[in-house]
Homo-oligomer: A and B are copies of this chain.
Amino acid sequence: MNFGTVAILGPGLIGGSLALALADRGLAKRLTIYARSPRALDEIRIAGIDAELSTNPSEAVREADVVVLCVPIEAMGALVQEFRDALKPGALVTDVGSVKGSVDAALAPLLAGRAWWVGSHPMAGSEQSGFIAARPDLFENAAVIVTPTPATAPGAAAKATEFWRALGARVFTLAPEEHDQAVADISHVPHLMAALLVASANPASLPLAGGGFRDTTRVASGSPELWIEILWANREALGRQCSAWAAQLEKIERLFRQDTPAAKSELFKLLEQAQSTRSQLIDKKPPVSRS
């Protein structure tokens, strides 16, 4: 399988891993990489990836059959406006942003009639960032969500699915809004909770922390600059979750205060359900360890 010329815009952790993975698997006839700064391109040059490098996005996409936007979500609209006139007719444009409703709303009108557009979100990454953290196996066994809408050309979703599958990912298809709700559950709310666990702990308690605390809060080491944009872009779904959590925690506080066998048994049921669900998660898919 070969996807022709692939343009990667933004060679950070995800874009850099994409370049490494495409090269490793021989999936692109030609690779072009755009970065805003020449310094970022120097890193790629030093790594010895066989790609054409440019700080001009129009140059990077001109011959591309597949264009993958790997820049921060808040930078995508302006970038697309900059390069869209240079796109080859019939090119597939997709992205790797962590939020899909607002990205689709911003990009679909800009690309309508000019290219096949469909959003993607690889659920891969780590608390690290930048090309320095890129790995050719980042997408292997990772979940990637492709988010077509009624306005999406059917061929676009099929081609994006084929692209991520070729990189070793398990591809799911959800509407952008379904995606945003799901990632609130499994990524954005966990990130917020991890940050709150660290920020609200008494600093004097931290030297006592064991492996459990380190694991539970690992994601809080992620870039605040990156995460504020992700959380903010998904603020509607997240706001609803915050209210639901506040109500849930007040209920648990009442159970503790009641201190009856029935109250204890209710909290026990929550722990039991969580354990059972969490264990199924392990059983279904061996965890892909990420440093």
Contact = CB atoms under 8 A, between A and B. Distances in A.
Given A196-B274, A209-B281, A252-B192, A204 B220 contact: no
A125 B210 CA distance: 8
Contact of A248 (B183, B200, B267, B270): B200
Query: Dominant SS at the A interface?
Result: helix
Interface in A212-227: 212-224, 227
Interface stretch (A33-41, A63-71, A105-113, A283-291): A283-291
Contact of A279 (B143, B181, B221): B221
Contact of A181 (B202, B217, B257): B202
Given A187-B212, A189-B197, A238-B256, 13 more contacts: A123-B210, A172-B207, A172-B208, A186-B210, A195-B271, A196-B248, A198-B273, A217-B281, A220-B274, A242-B256, A243-B253, A245-B249, A246-B246
Contact of A224 (B192, B275, B284): B275
Interface of A: 123-127, 142-143, 145, 172, 181-183, 185-187, 189-224, 227-228, 231-232, 235-236, 238-239, 242-250, 252-253, 256-257, 259, 264, 267-268, 270-275, 277-282, 284-285, 287-290
